[in-house]
Structure 1
Amino acid sequence: MPIDSAKVEDANGKLREPFWKLFADRRLIYIFILGFASGFPWAVIGNAFSVWLSDAGLTRTSIGVLGSVTMIFALNFTWAPLLDRVKLPWLCARFGQRRGWILLAQAGVFLGTLAMAAIDPTVGVTAVALVAAFVVFGAATQDVGIDAYRIETIPASEPRGMAAAAAVTAAGWWTGAGLPGAGAFWLAGTAPGGWSTAFHFLALVMALLVIVTLLFLPEPESDREAQQAADEARVREALSKRRRPGRISTVVAWFTVTAILPFAEFVRRNGIKLTISILGFIVLFKIGEAFMGRMAAVFYRELGFSHQEIALVSGVMGWFTMTLFMLLSGVINVRMGIFKGLLISGVAMALANLVYSVMALVGPNMALFAFAVVADNFTTAFSTVAFVAFISFLTSQVYTASQYAVMASMGNLSRTSLAAASGWMVDMLAGSWAMFFFITTIMVTPSLVLLWWIRHQLYDRLGEVFYARQPG
């Protein structure tokens, strides 16, 4: 019988379609759109926010502290169980559990962005902090819903599809954070109204995303509710044996399944030691990138680059290379396994930061600026796709929002809360950007040592998805 020439054999002799064919899956279009929506808030409270405050005359330390409102991302696991269990009136009945919550969160991001356009940071920073916190809260809630949507749309039972989804959602994220952010930079430097016009533009983009989610995205199919109901029935039965009153047992059972069981199931499945090690790795892996990323736009401005130059190189060119590298990284990570993807990308991510040290010593040079952005984008894409795939495969299909949010929150801890000290660090180094970027280079080392230490346990847990062949 002839073999389909479009298929290839894996190491076990099984026929598989080439990886590129996975990108023809219609579901990846929905995942890309939601990835865009997930990245978009960072166009509002990321580099644009930092430069907006810098242009208003705020100090580096103040910018770093105000940017710490993004620590809300690290706390979204505390309300993530609600997105698994609570049905919003009308919204969830009309649009489904995942889309209902996503729409509510997107409406919050839209209103917060619109409010930011009306604020003058030179008058006072209290209003800036409150509105930024409102935007971040909506964005953090949106992330919980979007991550659950993606994992339920392409579950772990489709490992190659899930790896492709990790690449596509990451590409969408950087598109949403990059292109609108580049547009905002351009408008801030050229349009009447400056930053106010830029934030109005960003609000318009968010409004379009709400319309797309409302009209075009389907609700994913899942047996999540049936399994959660079965778990709740088991808890009620256990409570009834202890002669608890019916109403109390119902409330306690609902709370247990909503707030306790998702995390207890994760620990039971992985064991306490491996759970602690996994969360430790997640916190430490991107800490250097987080410190660097928080102050990157401020560094560009202090080095002498204009708004338009930042928009062109870091925004437009950065988006193009990042999107290309994200899709390429999906192929690479599937070929070599998540372990090698995390290990190699971690080392490369650290080395890329050294290019910024060179920039600080050389001064404003467009060719070096472009090279630094391309190098940083490749390593960021490589590490992000491996990281997203890693925590996606560790997530239960029953408590998707809760468990993914815990791991994503731990990752956000370094990107948001810990990185709030980035501006202070530059000030303590007397403004030595070269030394600052050198320090960020070595920050990844503890996470890579930890990953090497737990590689065997992770292989036992994830199999060939984690490592193309059993680790030695």
Structure 2
Amino acid sequence: MKQFFQILKYHKQPHILSLMFLGFVSGLPFLLVVSSLPIWLTQIGYSKTIIGWMFLTTIPYSTKFLWAPLIDQYQLPYLCDYFGQRRGWALCIQVFLFISIIGLGLSDPQNHIVLTVFFAFLVSFCAASQDIVLDAYRIERLKTHELGIGTSMSGIGFRLGMLVSGAGSLYLQSLFSWSFAYIAMAFIGLIGIITTLLVDEVQSQEISSEVEQHYKIKSKDFIAYLQGVLNSFMAIGRHAGWPLLILLIFFYKIGDSIPNAMSGPLFVDLEFSAIEIANASKTFGLLMMIFGGFCGGIVVSKVGLRNGLIIGGIVQILSPLMFLILSINGHNEFVFFVTVGIQSFSCGVGSTAFVAYLSGICRGGYTATQFAVLYSFSSMSRIILSSVSGYAADHVTWASFFAVTTLLSILFILVLKEFERAQSKIVETNSEV
């Protein structure tokens, strides 16, 4: 309620309102690759194996920290001189994003799948790069007391962008064609260019002496860039039982990533129309995901990080279980809506608990870097699981596929116990010394 009144207070301030539009264009491209494209490929007859491998085109989302220092430190000739560091980079990336989305829509995957793969990767790369710039702009533009409301406005815009690209592309495809839908999304994305031109550039905050000591950042210093990337991985290695931590991330994502990846092919196989998928999965599902995230925050605040993670993981197990029930029932609209609702709600709860847990274990130096790298491992786990799930789904029935997924989702509890045991041993050893 307090946050609602804050939104009413700040919504008329241009720099706060602009964050919602910038958040919108951040959320717009993602579902065009991970949701709409798999449905498109399923409709024209591609195997689940091919569709699964297409998720590899989203790798830039999980590796963007590799080139983030370049965008942060280096200036583009002319553009950055005229518009500033953040706006110059944003405009350049947004133009290429506009072109790549149109290219994806015109790529004709039925006859030129390699071209489709290229443009899908290009969309992901441009979108991930845009996220780097816009996140930096948001952080530097907001004052300390505006961070909460600014982040909320950006989050609202991001979800609206997902709604428009997820549901909107399916509605437009059912009325016209996939090419028209993608071209329309590209032009809607011009909101980002217009907003970037209208907002004011901000001066980058000075790097603190602590960060400078860790990364030894100097202007246009490529060695500093390489050192920053190296420090990102070294930060993870200092965690007790870090291989188990990576394994925990992997198994925790099973209950969420695999159903999300194979939802489009399953819905098409069960003969649900594009309108039915848009109404249930992209509209109702998004609302349930937001509600789940809200509930997940309450759960974590009440029971703590560890118990919140366990509860979130258990709730996520309901996702493949409901897909199992749907695959057995076939084309049943009631079961379809219930499945989408539970899957989206569990995704919201599990993701919130997961992010909170990762935030909690990042302590000491390199806190922000540790979280960024751990979250990148999480994204990479999603990509790997999504990629191999298509091959598995091609060789078994849908019921068998989701039954095995449900069982695998439970393993995260065992890995969590082993990870905590490894940490406790380190603590005991240090106390003895």
TM-score (norm 1): 0.75
Name 2:430's counterpart in structure 1. none
Q: 1:132 corresponds to which residue?
A: 120
CA distance in 2, matches of 1:410, 1:260: 19
**Which of the numbers 326, 350, 363 marks the counterpart of 1:359?**
326
1:184 deviates by 0.8
Match of 1:208 in 2: 191
Where does residue 298 of structure 1 map in the other structure?
Answer: 265
Do the aligned residues in 1 keep the contact of 2:232 with 2:370 (CA within 8 Å)? Answer: no
Pair 1:177-2:162 in alignment: yes
Q: Give the deviation of 1:352 after TM superposition.
A: 2.5
1:312 aligns with 2:286: no
Deviation at 1:114, TM superposition (A): 1.0
Letter aligned with residue 134 of structure 1: L
The alpha-carbon distance between structure 1 residues 119 and 215, as it changes in their structure 2 partners (threshold 3 A), is: same
Partner of 2:380: 413
Q: Deviations over 1:411-459 (max 9, x none)?
A: 1112223321111111111xx1122122222333344444455569999
Superposed, 1:107-126 pairs within 5 Å as 107-126=95-114
Q: Provide the residue aligned with 2:427 in structure 1.
A: none
Match of 1:186 among 171, 176, 198: 171
Aligned pair in 2 of structure 1 residues 179, 362: CA closer, same or farther (>3 Å)? Answer: same
Letter in 1 for 2:56: S
- How far, CA to CA, are the matches of 1:336 and 1:30 in structure 2? 36
* Alignment map for 1:254-265 (pairs within 5 Å): 254-261=221-228, 263-264=230-231
Q: Please tell me whether the aligned partners of residues 108 and 138 of structure 1 are also in contact (alpha carbons under 8 angstroms).
A: yes
Taking the aligned partners of 1:52 and 1:358, their CA distance within structure 2 comes to 24
The yes-or-no answer on 1:426 pairing with 2:411 is: no
Residue 323 (structure 1) shift: 3.1
Distance 1:308 1:208 in 2: 25
Alignment of 1:269-280 (within 5 A): 271-273=238-240, 275-280=242-247
Structure 1 contact 171–323 (Cα < 8 Å) conserved: no
Q: Hey, what does 1:198 align to over in structure 2?
A: 181
Q: State whether structure 2 residue 93 is matched by structure 1 residue 105.
A: yes
Structure 1: gaps spanning 5 or more residues = 1-5, 7-17, 237-249, 460-472
C-alpha offsets along residues 277-315 of structure 1, whole Å, 9 cap, x if unaligned? 544433442233212111101110110111111111112
The residue number in structure 2 matching 1:239 is: none
Indicate the residue corresponding to 2:405 in structure 1. 440
Distance 2:20 2:413 in 1: 29
Distance 1:366 1:90, change over 3 A: same
Report if aligned partners of 1:119, 1:127 keep a CA contact under 8 Å in 2.
Answer: yes
Structure 1 residues 104, 359: closer, same or farther in 2, change over 3 A?
same
- Mean alpha-carbon deviation: is it higher for 53-62 or for 265-274? 265-274
Q: Are residues 1:73 and 2:61 paired?
A: yes
1:327-380 Cα distance to aligned partner (Å, 9 max, x none): 454444444444333221111011222111111111111111111111111111
Shift of the alpha carbon at 1:152?
A: 6.0
Distance (whole Å) between structure 1 residues aligned to residue 407 and residue 137 of structure 2: 35
Q: 1:348 to 1:398 in 2, by over 3 A?
A: closer
Letter in 2 for 1:377: S
Contact 1:180 1:205 in 2 (8 A): no
Conservation of the 8 A alpha-carbon contact between 1:70 and 1:417: no
Inter-CA distance 328–209: structure 2 relative to 1 (3 Å threshold): farther
Structure-2 separation of matches of 1:133 and 1:195: 18
Q: CA deviation at 1:117?
A: 2.3
Change (3 A) 1:152 1:369: farther
Q: Which residue of 1 aligns with 2:205?
A: 222
Contact 1:74–1:409 (CA under 8 A) maintained in structure 2:
yes
Q: CA RMSD in A?
A: 3.9
Residues of 1 paired with 2:248 and 2:76: CA distance? Answer: 35
Structure 2 stretches lacking a partner, 5+ long: 425-433
| Alpha-carbon distance between aligned partners in 1 of 2:359 and 2:141, rounded to the nearest angstrom | 12
Of 131, 134, 145, which residue of structure 2 is paired with 1:143? 131
Deviating more after overlay: 66-75 vs 121-130: 66-75
Question: Which segment is superposed worse, 204-213 or 346-355?
Answer: 204-213
Q: Is the 8 A contact 2:300 2:308 kept in 1?
A: yes
- Does the CA-based 8 Å contact 1:326-1:381 persist in structure 2? yes
**Matched position secondary structure for 2:240:** helix
**Change in CA separation of 1:452 and 1:398 when aligned onto 2, cut-off 3 Å:** closer
Report whether the alignment pairs 1:83 with 2:71: yes
Give, in angstroms, the shift of residue 381 of structure 1: 1.2
Distance 1:165 1:350 in 2: 33
Letter of the aligned partner of 2:407 in structure 1? Answer: I
Query: Is the alpha carbon distance of 1:282 and 1:361 closer, same or farther for their aligned partners in structure 2, counting shifts above 3 Å?
Result: same
Please state whether the residue corresponding to 2:339 is helix, strand or coil.
helix
2:320, 2:406 within 8 Å by CA — same for their partners in 1? Answer: yes
One-letter code of the match for 1:50? P
Query: Taking every aligned residue pair, what percent have the same amino acid on both sides?
Result: 27
- 8 Å CA contact retained: 2:59, 2:383: yes
CA distance in 2, matches of 1:178, 1:82: 31
Q: Is the 2:318–2:342 Cα contact (8 Å) retained in structure 1?
A: no
Query: 1:195 and 1:265, CA in 2 relative to 1: closer, same or farther beyond 3 A?
Result: closer
Aligned to 1:247: none
TM-score, normalisation: structure 2? 0.81
Q: Distance in 1 between matches of 2:273 and 2:224?
A: 53
Partner of residue 370 from structure 1, selected from 337, 347, 351: 337
Deviation of 1:404 (Å) = 5.0
Q: In 2, are the aligned partners of 1:64 and 1:424 still within 8 Å (CA)?
A: yes
What letter matches 1:211 in structure 2? I
